[in-house]
Structure 1
């Protein structure tokens, strides 16, 4: 039984008593005439008026009772809806003796009510509704956590996000901000001539990024399918087909570990722009940040934990190799010597595999000594080609890709590059990636259909992906991705019997 403690049973009994009285504790025909915020804004003038009440005004609000104080023949309560909290006052004289007695016995903190009444100012100066009619809308079976301690169990907050939102108003504000950010990003790209599209979530071949996929099975076709790692290869097929500016905001799935910046399913925007280069993407990204900060009313300098981030444009730009030397303090003379780099990493306590290429070793050095030091927005450019399997080779140096990543607060926020549109070069790179599958389960598969698509000719194109979750973290000063995803992935909870068995086993061990 889910509702088996005494407090839940008491509330279930009250719900049954209400039914026997002819009152539905879960009614459906409820009219909400205004929000709490609208009520408070509409009648705020009473605080400055000689008349401290508006008897001829009437409005119906709804909300969850967050506080209830009974005083014999009257009561004060705080009710909360999506817009905020409103104080209401009701009495036996207004509700009638019988219904007032019922309310006192049957309605509790956590219940959802509808209140109709007029505004007045209390002796303490608080704008309040004087209730003439009070209805129970929904009877809550489970009591809310005790007010003064709130919901502090982090694990419980993520598992029961609904309860987290009830008890912690700031949580709702974070997700309201997230919604605004996504809406503004969509508007920005539409205003810049991009077409929003949708591409498959289940792929016959995992591709678009180096990552381990989730695998499922399609019964009707009798084949395995992979939840998409990235939409990249499908979006670029659309560029081949004739669209010149496309974007998609949607989920990606990667079968990887979970930490403060990684969740197995996450939200990204990816966009592709024909007849543009990666330098154009960096400029467009700066414009996007300028637009977001303006529309959200944010200052260009924002706190993030113990640091302050300066989002003033233009953002800093630095080449990958320069970053290793200037920011990571990696000796420049070792960067062309695989054995010297491997020895340097091992001296620093970082184990690396024998098969890693020069570019991959650069990547290990960058992850270890550079990334976390990039606090203000920084475009890192000129990536090694062998860690950029889908990016175009630089005309100036074939070992370098026309690629950048944007780092903020020590985290990768965006990844973009001039796209590889040479089908023969792409085929050879896919072959090289496929050859690494035995030693690297995140290496890409061969995608022959995508190579065929390139064979029909893809115009020069630049593409970029931006992590929505990490962006929201930055703009809301949140330090774990779980705080910006409504329902983050969690480890399975142990059943009560398993927990009890573990306790018994620990007790037996202690007694030995």
Structure 2
């Protein structure tokens, strides 16, 4: 791309060179190609609403100033048609030489290219063909586009380019804009629902001295003034639960979290979660909260609790069924999978089904891996999968009758987790023992083991009320609500490798 007005490296007929030349010509004529404002009176949707009853061939008796990007141009000599898109839709400019003046008409139309931002003022009419239009007395270029848009009929289809140049993707593919509008509607609905349930939205640190709240590999940075390493948060959990100790009984955070792990259709290093904590409730309360959050988002984004995802119909209508992790895994394996089996038996089951395992893993980790590899993908859902092993749930309350299991669920939909919840562990002695186990795992080479957070233990020792906690993966939820196969489809600017 040339710098400034330098087009020396381009052929004269190159589309970029042609546009640079038009920009230079505007400046030479005293017409700044990048204006600082335009006094718009109507958006496209406002005009369509105001003139909904206007008959073909009639004038609305209304003058309007509209602005937007030129998406189509049809020049027929003494008349021309421009389709201009703003943030609400499209409106046609019905340009006439006898209205604009012959010289001004030709000069203006020749200067305008697809992709330019323009403003136009004039009479509002409906053409004989029924198209609501503005007949401009004047059109001004507000921002000159120096790169041509993707080819009109094929749009922008290369996936890598779409993700890397989201700004062009949004211009070329209107359905992409609709996906993100649904995302924003879902998030707004979740906020409204949480507030209606008495939750306070709070903000907690994104830079943590100790990575905690989940088992994941963190990003590390360094604070120069304090001369200390800090970690981008992998979850806000431990800070939110400190607020329970401090007396806030219902808190939530819609947060950005970061995990230095692989990228896939379900994983992005930077992602959005909702985490919520409620005093004086348990897993049952979190089940009701999860159903309320998801159904509120689905209704706002889709207008229905029944959605189609990649060819599968999913009905979010509560109540959702409940199954234990052990039962689902046993069904998928074709034989009993439980803590009653020996460690060697469980390792043998992993070998039998091609599930990789590490020598340091206990029964709980082996059973969890078997579930994730054999059973999870077959759950259409939504389903509460309950009773996760203690070994893989270091912050969840133990199940009283079975100490190897916890009072924890995950919501599985279309074969993937979209939410995770516990009856919270509030016993500081038990929590210390679990942190110590995580520390041993980290010392043994587990990069995802949780850090030992002494300050969090101190907070717990002041007394934490009985509570339930819930985390919802917003990106994965939006994937379901927009029928998007990849998490990159629902993140505006997903992380990519550098361009070659």
TM-score interval w.r.t. the shorter chain? over 0.9
How do 1:130-145 residues align onto structure 2 when only pairs under 5 Å count?
A: 130-145=135-150
Other-structure match for 2:334: 329
- The answer as to 2:375 corresponding to 1:370 is yes
Other-structure match for 1:123: 128
| 8 Å Cα contact 1:421/1:458 also seen in 2 | yes
CA separation of 1:8 and 1:93: change in aligned 2, threshold 3 A: same
CA separation of 1:344 and 1:88: change in aligned 2, threshold 3 A: same
Match of 2:152, SS state, is coil
Match of 2:478, SS state, is helix
Rounded Cα–Cα distance in structure 1 between residues aligned with 2:280 and 2:247: 12
- The answer as to 2:438 corresponding to 1:430 is no
Rounded Cα–Cα distance in structure 2 between residues aligned with 1:469 and 1:128: 39
- The answer as to 2:189 corresponding to 1:184 is yes
How do 1:104-253 residues align onto structure 2 when only pairs under 5 Å count?
A: 104-253=109-258
Root mean square deviation, CA, Å? 1.5
Instruction: After TM superposition, give the deviation of residue 244 of structure 1 in Å.
Output: 0.6
Match of 1:339, SS state, is helix
Cα deviation per residue 1:73-110 (whole Å; 9 max; x = unaligned)? 11011111111111211111111122212113211111
Cα deviation per residue 1:245-300 (whole Å; 9 max; x = unaligned)? 10000100000000001000000000000111011100121122333344445333
| 8 Å Cα contact 1:334/1:340 also seen in 2 | no
Rounded Cα–Cα distance in structure 1 between residues aligned with 2:355 and 2:298: 39
Q: 1:46 aligns with which of 46, 49, 54?
A: 54
| 8 Å Cα contact 2:114/2:148 also seen in 1 | yes
Hey, which bits of structure 1, 4+ residues long, moved more than 6 A?
none
Moved more, 34-43 or 150-159: 34-43
| 8 Å Cα contact 1:317/1:378 also seen in 2 | yes
- The answer as to 2:101 corresponding to 1:93 is no
Instruction: After TM superposition, give the deviation of residue 204 of structure 1 in Å.
Output: 0.3
Rounded Cα–Cα distance in structure 2 between residues aligned with 1:141 and 1:333: 64
| 8 Å Cα contact 1:53/1:119 also seen in 2 | no
Using the size of structure 2 for normalisation, the TM-score is 0.95
- The answer as to 2:479 corresponding to 1:473 is yes
Cα deviation per residue 1:173-199 (whole Å; 9 max; x = unaligned)? 111111111111111111111111100
Match of 1:369, SS state, is helix
Instruction: After TM superposition, give the deviation of residue 332 of structure 1 in Å.
Output: 4.1
- List runs of 5+ in structure 2 lacking aligned partners: 4-8
Rounded Cα–Cα distance in structure 1 between residues aligned with 2:469 and 2:338: 33
Cα deviation per residue 1:44-77 (whole Å; 9 max; x = unaligned)? 2113x7xx32263111111111110111111011
Cα deviation per residue 1:354-381 (whole Å; 9 max; x = unaligned)? 1110000011100111110111200011
- The answer as to 2:349 corresponding to 1:349 is no
Match of 2:134, SS state, is strand
| 8 Å Cα contact 1:229/1:253 also seen in 2 | yes
Instruction: After TM superposition, give the deviation of residue 125 of structure 1 in Å.
Output: 2.1
- List runs of 5+ in structure 1 lacking aligned partners: 495-512
Q: 1:257 aligns with which of 262, 266, 289?
A: 262
Rounded Cα–Cα distance in structure 2 between residues aligned with 1:256 and 1:335: 33
Other-structure match for 1:419: 424
CA separation of 1:383 and 1:247: change in aligned 2, threshold 3 A: same
Cα deviation per residue 1:115-164 (whole Å; 9 max; x = unaligned)? 11222222322222222221111110111111112111110000010000
- The answer as to 2:462 corresponding to 1:456 is yes
CA separation of 1:367 and 1:330: change in aligned 2, threshold 3 A: farther
Q: 1:379 aligns with which of 379, 384, 389?
A: 384
Match of 1:324, SS state, is helix
Q: 1:289 aligns with which of 288, 294, 307?
A: 294
Rounded Cα–Cα distance in structure 2 between residues aligned with 1:123 and 1:96: 23
Q: 2:31 aligns with which of 17, 23, 30?
A: 23
Rounded Cα–Cα distance in structure 2 between residues aligned with 1:445 and 1:288: 30
Using the size of structure 1 for normalisation, the TM-score is 0.93
| 8 Å Cα contact 2:385/2:412 also seen in 1 | yes
Other-structure match for 1:487: 493
CA separation of 1:297 and 1:470: change in aligned 2, threshold 3 A: closer
CA separation of 1:275 and 1:158: change in aligned 2, threshold 3 A: same
Rounded Cα–Cα distance in structure 1 between residues aligned with 2:371 and 2:475: 23
- The answer as to 2:353 corresponding to 1:361 is no
Q: 2:405 aligns with which of 400, 404, 413?
A: 400
Rounded Cα–Cα distance in structure 1 between residues aligned with 2:398 and 2:349: 28
| 8 Å Cα contact 2:118/2:140 also seen in 1 | yes
Match of 1:75, SS state, is strand
Other-structure match for 1:504: none
| 8 Å Cα contact 1:53/1:118 also seen in 2 | no
Rounded Cα–Cα distance in structure 2 between residues aligned with 1:304 and 1:29: 43
Instruction: After TM superposition, give the deviation of residue 429 of structure 1 in Å.
Output: 0.6
Other-structure match for 1:503: none
Rounded Cα–Cα distance in structure 1 between residues aligned with 2:342 and 2:303: 46
- The answer as to 2:45 corresponding to 1:37 is yes
Rounded Cα–Cα distance in structure 2 between residues aligned with 1:349 and 1:335: 22
